[in-house]
């Protein structure tokens, strides 16, 4: 799937919803709980999340791949793990602000 910045996607296995912030140039497969994510307007049939992919998502947190080319913002939390292909996305760490001595 070719993702575009600003696209809103939802999981077909849990309540997770995300907004795409940054995308790689190539087409990618964004998954949640082991199932492909779909456009927020699509009525996807519910299925069960893979047992090993249920670490959950947190509202307001950003998730990125290893090289930072894909970034999504969680707009609704759920039980599934966000993955790029078969690789789980990592929670993006906050940047440290400079000290104001």
Would strands 38-39 and 62-64 be described as parallel, antiparallel, or unpaired? unpaired
Indicate the DSSP class of residue 3.
-
* Highest mean pLDDT (candidates 8-12, 40-44, 46-50): 8-12
Average pLDDT over residues 74-85: 92
What's the pLDDT at 50?
A: 67
101 vs 43, higher pLDDT: 43
Q: What is the pTM of this model?
A: 0.85
**Tens digits of per-residue pLDDT, 47-71?**
666 666 778 899 999 999 999 899 9
| Residue 66: burial class (beta carbons within 10 Å; 0-12, 13-18, 19+) | exposed
How many percent of the chain have pLDDT more than 70?
90
């Amino acid at each position: 799937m070719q993702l575009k910045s600003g696209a809103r996607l939802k999981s077909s296995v849990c309540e997770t919803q995300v907004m795409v912030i940054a995308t790689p140039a190539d087409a990618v497969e964004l998954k949640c709980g082991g199932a492909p994510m779909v456009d927020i307007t699509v009525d996807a049939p519910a299925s069960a999340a893979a047992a090993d992919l249920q670490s959950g998502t947190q509202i307001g947190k950003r998730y990125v791949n290893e090289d930072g080319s894909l970034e999504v913002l969680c707009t609704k939390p759920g039980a599934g793990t966000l993955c790029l292909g078969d690789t789980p996305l990592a929670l993006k760490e906050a940047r440290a602000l400079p000290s104001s001595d």
